[in-house]
Amino acid sequence: MEKYNDNVESLFWHAEDYLETKVELLKLKAIDKSSDVVSSIVARMVIALFIASFFLMLNIGVALLIGRGIGEVYFGFFIVAGFYLIVIAILYFLRNKWLKVPIGDLIIKSILN
């Protein structure tokens, strides 16, 4: 009977150690996944910032070029702004197909990997 109690007590302590280790492992996995997701988002944001800066300079140059060709510089900026208004309208109407679904899929894939 005493041997049985020792075995049960030993099993209880091993189960407790196992549970603590399992909880710690889950915490570390969660930290790993969240740091991976955050670091990939930050990296993409930095790249997006440089791309946005490039396109800003390109758009200013195109607006000045169009404006010089028309005769008034500000007309070039109006034409470029009108182009972006059309792009915004297209993106708005197709936002679920082109933006929401792919970004959601990307986030889910990043979390599950």
Domain with 99 in it: 2-112
Please give the pLDDT value at position 64. Answer: 96
**67 contact partners, CB below 8 Å, separation of at least 6:** 73, 74, 75, 76, 77
Residues 64-85, mean pLDDT to the nearest whole number? 95
User: How sure is the predictor about 17, in pLDDT bands with cuts at 50, 70 and 90?
Assistant: confident
| Domains held by the chain: number | 1
User: How sure is the predictor about 5, in pLDDT bands with cuts at 50, 70 and 90?
Assistant: low
Which residue type is seen at 74?
Y
pTM of the full predicted structure?
A: 0.61
Round to whole Å and give the CA distance between 53 and 100. Answer: 24
pLDDT of residue 111 exceeding 80, the answer is no
Q: Angle at which helices 101-112 and 2-70 pack, to 10 degrees?
A: 150
The larger pLDDT score, comparing residue 10 to residue 17, is at: 17
